[in-house]
Amino acid sequence: MGYLQGDQPINISKLLSMHAEREKIAMLTAYDSTMSALLNRCGVESILIGDSLGNVIQGQSSTTPVTVEQMVYHTQCVVRANTHAFLIADLPFASYGDPIQALDSAAQLMRAGADMVKLEGGGDWQLEIIQYLVERSVPVCAHLGLLPQSIHLLGSFKVQGKTKTAAQVMHEQALACEQVGAQMVVLEAIPSSLGRQITDSVSIPTIGIGAGPDCSGQVLVLQDMLGISTGHQPKFVKNFVEGHPSIEAAIKTYVREVKSGKFPGPEHGYSG
């Protein structure tokens, strides 16, 4: 199971190889040292230090209040206990409005120990940011579909890419993100068929969260898969603690189900 077969940490070359060989990638979020250590023991191959910490750690109604300084702090916490997993840190809201600001924000996260940074959106200006960062040796993960940082524009959390036009635009954005240098892309809350189409079209890993079973890998917010988040749970969430004696057993089950393709099931996906 991934790096558990050896002592070498996961790097981007390994993840690209896994995508090419159709070996599923198991990713979860973490925001502190204790959970970082646990996820490493359980075989999680990539950890996302997500700005979702605004919701699940800070109790905010959205991710927009999260700052670069807070992301740096939580990245440092995760890094201290990380032994093998590939670490991706979110660039938070309004921290990459222009190339210079984006590089400064990304540099802070990379110096804190992140292996890659993630930013939301695939429009022209985001593509410019991705290319600018990659040309300056900053690995980038793109994020398409439902964009939590844009919730005040969207008005609510809803499935994206459902119309033929919207799906085509997102497909083209994914290809453009790869072309300008993104080495991974998160696909959130889109029809399963679109998740499959994008995954089949790009040579970089796609990480799904509500994007169907055909993505290169899957990610969930840790608190969601442990059944301890408050409020409405999205359709794509599964409580892995149910039927298991411990958090560790639940996380190991999540990894097994992602690797085997059992999770996500049809009940966790969206139609076009």
Cα–Cα distance measured from residue 141 to residue 49, given in angstroms and rounded to the nearest whole number: 13
188 noted as active-site residue: yes
Residue 105 marked as a ligand binder: no
Cα–Cα distance measured from residue 47 to residue 69, given in angstroms and rounded to the nearest whole number: 19
SS3 74: helix
Contact 92, 67 (CB under 8 A): yes
Residue 52 marked as a ligand binder: yes
Which DSSP state fits 242? T
Strands (E), the chain: 25-29, 46-49, 86-90, 116-120, 140-145, 184-188, 206-209, 217-220
Contact 222, 241 (CB under 8 A): no
SS3 49: strand
Cα–Cα distance measured from residue 197 to residue 111, given in angstroms and rounded to the nearest whole number: 35
| Catalytic option among 45, 178, 188, 257 | 188
Per residue in 67-94, is it b (16+ CB within 10 Å) or e — as a string?
Answer: ebebbbebbbbbbebbebbbbbbbbbbe
Residue 69 marked as a ligand binder: no
- Which residue is listed with tokens 């790009």? 202
Distances (CA, A) of 263 to 24, 84, 93, 212: 11, 23, 30, 9
Which segments are annotated as binding site? 51-52, 90, 118, 120
Which segments are annotated as binding site for 3-methyl-2-oxobutanoate? 51-52, 90, 118
Annotated active-site positions, please?
188
Which segments are annotated as binding site for Mg(2+)? 51, 90, 120
